[in-house]
A = this chain, B = another copy of it.
Amino acid sequence: MFIQNCWYVAGWADEVGADNFLKRTVIDVPLALWRKASGEVVAFEDMCCHRGAPLSAGRREGDCVRCMYHGLKFDDSGACVEIPGQARIPPNTRVRTFPVIERSRWLWVWMGDAEKADPSLVPDTHWLDDPQWRSLQGYTHYDTPYLLIADNLLDLAHLPYVHPTTLGGSEDYAATQPRITMLERGVHVERWTLGTAPPAFVQKVKPFAGKVDRWNHYDFLLPGIFVMDSGMLDAGHGAPDGNREGAAMFHGCQALTPETAHSTHYFFAHPHNFAIDRPEVTRSIHQSVVDAFEEDRTMITLQSRSLALRPDFRMQPIRADEALGRFRWLVQKTLKEEAASREPSPAIA
């Protein structure tokens, strides 16, 4: 069961060039994404309506796609425009298509009712292509359910334990209390840690002489979008909404997209706004994040395997679970609402 009516990140924009197909499965639906001559991206279900053959193995013919199994041809609306050996094309001969929005280097697809596809629901991740910020693009694949990764991002107390040599600093970080507030479609988390050790990934590119005041403020939005304002400056100078002079600042953007119930796509970048003319700084930050996300993946994959072995395992909640508990509640509530809206209306007595 996945949320249908929301925008999922299906890929990085440059994964779809002028001529290729991007084959990617999103919430159990295989997709073929391709780009029209105008540059607009189209998302087809990657199954010819005839026998389910992969259209991503098809042939581009202008702004049409021909299935290379039996030769059916479809226009960019998904309508079949040619069936070899058959003059009449029944009107329901069409491939399923999905609304796509290309914004800030990400391709967002709407997997539910197309009429409900509201572009204003695409989260703001403009730091990905803002000229004042720099980042490299990352992707990794998890063989775990997406919610275990969401849990991870919703409790950053794991930073010093999982990432001691990359993103994490000293362990006092885990003791600070984040402020958590509900959003209409997500959770907002604010965390200030004062007088803590700067993490290694920052020391490599913008070293601090002593302790720092560090903030991590983020939205975690349906279906699994993480957008974080974070940074640090010399200890004693930090304060909520206050001075950020001399700070190392980041605006991490991450997107979890379930592939199946048991596997997940993970798109990420970690934009910074200092030393933006030094590509080696961008590369160093990116590599630290890549390394750190491998640390997460190792932990979460082991966790997932144990949970699969022990379906009766009961998790013992702690205070730090507040944000993830709220997000899981929101997911369940949204799934229930979507299920209810699909049921037939009761007859009027």
Chain A residues within CB distance 8 Å of chain B: 25, 28-30, 46-47, 49-54, 57, 66-72, 83-86, 90, 92-93, 151, 155, 157-158, 160-162, 171, 174-177, 260, 298-299, 302-303, 305-307, 309-310, 313, 315-321
Contacts and interface: CB of A to CB of B under 8 A. Distances in A.
B85 A320 contact: yes
A36 to B, nearest CB: 22
B315 A52 contact: yes
A85 B309 contact: no
Contact of A155 (B70, B305, B321): B70
A175 B84 contact: yes
Contact of A320 (B52, B86, B92, B306): B86
Contact of A303 (B69, B310, B315, B321): B69
Contacts of A84: 157, 171, 174-175, 320
A324 to B, nearest CB: 9
A160 B160 CA distance: 59
A69 B310 contact: no
Given A25-B309, A47-B313, A313-B47, A318 B162 contact: no
Contact of A83 (B70, B92, B260, B319): B319
